[in-house]
Chains A and B, each alone.
Chain A
């Protein structure tokens, strides 16, 4: 089955800086790559996603890039704010959705 690796496991940035989280996947048949944000005590919530026929997608301060050849995709958050502090998960779907181990992002005010 699909194997998704995510780095780094923890990330600390100053408010206003950018944050980048990277993931690789193993199954070249995967065609959907979402990113989820999980706040304490809550279930993960989708923040942005990208499909395999697109190389980049942006939504305000959040962007995702996909390199199908290298089988990796990244989440970019610009102008970080304290409320961006959470655990972020990447995922890849072919038949079912497989998740990375997560990145704990801390934004220091």
Chain B
């Protein structure tokens, strides 16, 4: 069974630009979560999607957005990039239904974004 796939793995952008990251979950997983990982801050929760609907959202500015498609693939977008947005962005999928979640998250290897 293929794992969670994230693309691109590495990218460099400049301040003010925007970026789109993609995540393909494990087959059969309908829940996709996004996390930002920076040194010393651990994994900060961005948002979770289930069946094309945002189910939960973390404490990030509106520049961070996401969406989920009918095949459960998800994208996140960051607009007007700032230097502080440099981080590893991790996507995770889980087996979930409406109102329930088994709990375990399966992570991809992440997309490392550098903002210059």
The answer to whether A44 and B43 touch (CB under 8 A), given A34-B103, A96-B48, A99-B35, is yes
CB of B107, distance to nearest CB on chain A (Å): 3
Q: Is the CB of B45 within 8 A of A42?
A: no
Q: How large is the interface on B (under 10, 10 to 19, 20 to 34, 35 or more residues)?
A: 20 to 34
User: Closest approach, in angstroms, between the C-beta of B100 and any C-beta of chain A?
Assistant: 11
Contact indicator B109/A43 (Cβ below 8 Å): yes
Flag whether A12 is at the interface (Cβ < 8 A): no
A9-B40 Cα distance, complex, nearest whole Å: 8
- B107 adjacent to A43 (CB under 8 Å): yes
Is A43 in contact with B108, judged by CB distance below 8 angstroms?
Answer: yes
B18 adjacent to chain A (CB < 8 Å): no
Question: Contact residue range for chain A?
Answer: 20 to 34
Is B105 at the interface (CB under 8 A from chain A)? yes
Chain A residues whose C-beta falls within 8 Å of the C-beta of B104 in the assembled complex = 34, 46, 49
- CB-CB under 8 A from B33, the residues of chain A are 96-97
22 contacts between A and B (CB under 8 A): A34-B104, A36-B105, A41-B109, A43-B92, A43-B107, A43-B109, A43-B110, A44-B107, A45-B107, A46-B104, A46-B105, A46-B106, A51-B103, A89-B42, A89-B43, A91-B43, A93-B101, A97-B92, A97-B103, A97-B105, A99-B44, A101-B42
Where the two chains meet, the residues of B that have a C-beta atom closer than 8 Å to any C-beta of A are 4, 33, 35, 40-45, 48, 55-56, 58-59, 90, 92, 101, 103-110
